[in-house]
Structure 1
């Protein structure tokens, strides 16, 4: 037992059963026994857990944070102090050390005996830190490695002052940041990288406007996934759905925002990599008009569809970022006329699970009825046409993904996880002729969609369903992905902006996004419309 190997300091008798409960907690922590850890924290909304950056309130939020954690380094309890505050409550403080690194930490817990069992009702953790620490790395050990690759206090300070003063940002690990390596969600890739000489323009613009970069956050490997499950670094937590996946490929920034560790998560969206994590975690997420925000200094996946985007818990911060990164895109509400109609594409929504499709239809109708959305108009899109567009999208995406990374993947067999590796293996077989045929189909789709979107807003679900359970089979996750892609690909095909707003739920209460898709260049107008809908919710 842990307590037997450490001197327990207490001014009086230690309450019966407390040390056994503490031992169970430590054992579960070091073996990543999440179920036992959840059981040892008191149920209900009053339980709290804090660290150097985040306060989590309620058992559900704590379980969601913990659900994506990796096994922590082996550590030892160095000192254990118990201060009883009655027969059924005690304050426990433990200092810890990691023998391999000498890193020290401190945990403080309030234990209470509830219905005969000891439970943690409040905890604060100062996670292990090696001494001395440089200021830029002081917080590095305090954050979940499934969410973050590197952090600081901050990692990058603002270079100017302006509308983003005080805004903290998690940057997806695809963006160049001067002095830092670019990780792309893969340890073999990261090991070969040199620090970047300059910072991507999108990041530099945020810094110049007063924002600070808290750190570089995880991405699914090479951004070729929508699940948020990284084979090397684990699954980032989804506090909105404890035990659920968080969505990707902007997985780390999304979780950092949802956990309250930053205000904004900067990422990319090729086929839904902003909108899907926003939908799964109840966040606001924007995919910008293709080409509106420079992609210089951003590792590509499929340049024909890649865009910069970002997430926030509310529309306000997302709009502030948009006014910095999109200063020339419908810069005032009068620059682009409000949408005259709400477009409904029934064929598209058949790929959502019935409960989400019904919720979308009901919410859309209610918003039209309240005058918050313009009159709805059903537009016919034959199923076979949608399937042809979807196939063309996936074909060109795969062709461009292999063009971007195929040489490296070929030289590093076995470096990818099974899911992403399978997609790249299929991408390797796409021929130039197939890509050319896909481009022709995409050009037709783009012309049709832009005609439909002129003066209109398309309203569809942001994802086929809510977040699948993290222990779902690969087949279940892939089915959700395929259904979602048939909806999210429309904005990519049109080169159009799209905003996911957390206005839907599944039948069992998981969040899902309502997606607003507008004509190219209407990014700010979409966000202002989203703010109106958010305010009326």
Structure 2
């Protein structure tokens, strides 16, 4: 080590502790790494993904990441603060190429030297494959003039882009897919309006997830809630917008795949009235519920995209009355429900009423059963006999889907039809206000698979209402008291998408 700064010597034992840490890091020796980080709630570890505060969170991160990139130390420099504190800066060279830096603040404790704060930087990848499958500069240029000139689009990997395949989040499907000869209808409309296609963004496999944790390509980052999931299945499009790599994220929403990522990442998002936007060139999951949707970082741009993609729609007579059903609000965890309550209270224009929701559990089961049956009908020709090409969570879903009988499916469909009529009757021409998702984004780490299943079940109890009703829904970002993103969802009457978008602009 090279001492720098004031002429204070390198403290005894620091060099040995530093190299013990480095050996443990390369061996993924989590126990030793935990011992060499100060066991305190104030210990810090940061990188490009975000800041971890507290030894417990740092330890959980290490346990779940599967080891650090292999590297060697090129240089080390020490600034001794006093006999018990020192700053160590190391220049690293990664085995995959490129150089990084590691800055650590070390302190001497009774049982030896420990890191109290650290920051790690490594070369950014040329292409973050967690977010993107294909990118360009741009991939498809937009028209020279139009309402969306200057905007850029992340296209979910379910939409056709001419000259490319639809990858659908699954490598085996992608390898066998044929090159698309034309753009999906909505992609063409956005390009003609001036928006440039930045690239094709990742999705959960066949869009059959709400998490964004693709087993093949990884979890796109969530910059608003670091070290938490991004939300799916429109995860890549949402992360691209959240990170500022695109201004518009084109996605889909079947069971919540616009509303959930929007809530988890603090974005505006809309799922449109079923069938109001042309789905030509979109790979189906469950056609009864599949809808076109998009994300933006502002309500104004969300509405501007609607002016391009939505047909002319009749305006509601008078204003749009907002209604809250307390029983639905209570389906969210306390921090999310409180954030929604604050948003509602700040606007002071919401009526609270009780809805007869005794059949909600029946509706959720019918939604899931019919969705599963349709998903198997459209994907069985590819998946039959080779479900092992899927990641564990999506595979389990398709395995269950393959077991749904025609009788079970048709019984579920009868419930879906009845639920659609009942939900539309209860809503009328008003706007239902409820949480976009019942939780903030779950943390990555130990036990994630089990936690995600419970979260999915809780989420569908809220999101299925718009899906069953075939209704438009706009997610508006809010924050919990701890600063985590969440979403307030505005569910409108069918074919009132434009009015709902303008309401979101007004309320924003």
Which TM class, normalised by the smaller chain length?
0.7 to 0.9
Distance 1:28 1:259 in 2: 29
| Match 1:492 to one of 462, 467, 482 | 467
| Greater Cα shift, 256-265 or 299-308 | 256-265
1:301 match: 285
SS at match of 2:384: helix
1:482 equivalent in alignment to 2:462: no
| Match 2:423 to one of 449, 452, 456 | 449
Distance 1:28 1:296 in 2: 50
2:223 match: 239
What whole-Å deviation, never above 9, does each CA across 1:146-169 have from its counterpart, x for those lacking one?
A: 222222333333244322222222
Distance 2:321 2:70 in 1: 60
Distance 1:68 1:514 in 2: 34
1:363 match: 343
| Greater Cα shift, 111-120 or 512-521 | 111-120
Distance 1:410 1:360 in 2: 43
Distance 1:324 1:59, change over 3 A: farther
For residue 308 of structure 1, report the CA deviation from its aligned partner. 0.9
- Alignment of structure 1 residues 155-234 onto 2, 5 Å: 155-234=139-218
User: Does the 8 A contact of 1:164 with 1:206 survive in 2?
Assistant: yes
2:325 match: 345
1:425 match: 399
Distance 1:58 1:483, change over 3 A: closer
Aligned length: 486
1:153 equivalent in alignment to 2:140: no
SS at match of 1:502: strand
For residue 95 of structure 1, report the CA deviation from its aligned partner. 6.2
| Match 2:435 to one of 461, 464, 478 | 461
User: Does the 8 A contact of 1:82 with 1:92 survive in 2?
Assistant: yes
| Match 1:315 to one of 299, 303, 314 | 299
For residue 114 of structure 1, report the CA deviation from its aligned partner. 6.7
Distance 1:67 1:257 in 2: 28
Distance 2:288 2:195 in 1: 29
SS at match of 1:474: helix
1:382 match: 357
Distance 2:394 2:409 in 1: 20
Distance 1:404 1:437 in 2: 19
User: Does the 8 A contact of 1:30 with 1:71 survive in 2?
Assistant: no
For residue 406 of structure 1, report the CA deviation from its aligned partner. 1.4
SS at match of 2:293: strand
| Match 2:477 to one of 502, 506, 517 | 502
Distance 2:432 2:302 in 1: 20
Distance 1:203 1:67 in 2: 40
Distance 2:178 2:19 in 1: 44
For residue 498 of structure 1, report the CA deviation from its aligned partner. 0.3
Distance 1:235 1:162, change over 3 A: same
User: Does the 8 A contact of 1:356 with 1:464 survive in 2?
Assistant: yes
1:401 match: 375
For residue 202 of structure 1, report the CA deviation from its aligned partner. 1.1
Distance 1:462 1:30 in 2: 42
For residue 476 of structure 1, report the CA deviation from its aligned partner. 2.9
For residue 349 of structure 1, report the CA deviation from its aligned partner. 3.4
| Gap runs ≥5 in structure 1 | 51-55, 99-103, 129-138
For residue 402 of structure 1, report the CA deviation from its aligned partner. 0.5
SS at match of 2:387: coil
User: Does the 8 A contact of 2:207 with 2:285 survive in 1?
Assistant: yes
Distance 1:68 1:189 in 2: 32
Distance 1:67 1:500 in 2: 33
Distance 1:423 1:112, change over 3 A: closer
Distance 1:311 1:340, change over 3 A: closer
| Gap runs ≥5 in structure 2 | 109-113
Distance 1:531 1:262, change over 3 A: same
Distance 1:286 1:389, change over 3 A: same
1:101 match: none
SS at match of 1:229: coil
Distance 1:530 1:92, change over 3 A: same
2:257 match: 273
RMSD: 4.1
